[in-house]
Amino acid sequence: MAEAFVGTCGWAYGWNPDGLPWYARESGLNAVELNYSFYRFPTRERAEAWAREGSGLRWSIKVSRAVTHRRRMKGEALPLWERFREAVSPL
């Protein structure tokens, strides 16, 4: 049987008292969507911190709107896509 990955869009909610570490350890969820990355281009260091804090989670990462909406996934989006992919690779 295939494993199901279930989570929420982000982890900053009133029911989550301690952010990503609590979400990863205590929520009972095994996945999370990274919504931050759509609005703000993440750094590799930030992604490394998320990977440490959210150890064991499966990540669904929204591609930056700079790639998908502003550049419309056209030729000039390729260098941005490569930067984005490298930045989030720790996840």
CA 72 to chain centre: 20
Say if 2 falls within a structural domain.
Answer: no
H-state helical runs in the chain = 19-26, 36-39, 44-53, 65, 77-88
**What is the DSSP pairing of strand 58-61 with strand 31-34?**
parallel
Number of structural domains found in the chain: 1
Say if 71 falls within a structural domain.
Answer: yes
Say if 74 falls within a structural domain.
Answer: yes
Q: What is the pLDDT of residues 8-64, one digit of tens each?
A: 999 998 988 899 999 999 999 999 999 999 999 999 999 999 999 999 999 999 999
pTM (predicted TM-score): 0.84
Closest by CA to 90, choosing from 30, 45, 23, is 45
Instruction: Tell me the residue range of the domain where 42 lies.
Output: 7-88
pLDDT of residue 17: 85
Is pLDDT above 90 for 78?
no
Is pLDDT above 90 for 77?
no
pLDDT of residue 76: 79
* Three-state SS at 20: helix
